[in-house]
Amino acid sequence: MSTQKETVEFILEKLGEPGRFSVRAMFGEYALYADGKVVGLVCNDQLYVKILPESKELEDICDKDEAYPGSKLFYVVEEV
């Protein structure tokens, strides 16, 4: 299942900071960029954030899972 464009627009709106965050379509899914660097993926209408020192605050509040079969683990960000 591929991600709906509305989901990506919703995520970008929630992130705020126009110009800092962007997305690029890839094989029906999306890569999420911050300041030109990939920081996450949007797959199957779900946000996956790369596990980085900058995203450490998500450790205690997010589950971890593969964004796609065989990928590294990502933080799975649920809508609040």
Residue pLDDT, tens place only, 55-76: 999 999 999 999 999 999 999 9
pLDDT tens digits, 46-60: 999 999 999 999 999
Per-residue confidence (pLDDT) for residue 79, from 0 to 100: 76
Where do the DSSP E strands lie in the chain? 21-26, 29-34, 37-43, 46-50, 63-66, 73-77
pTM of the model: 0.90
CB count within 10 Å of CB 80 equals 5
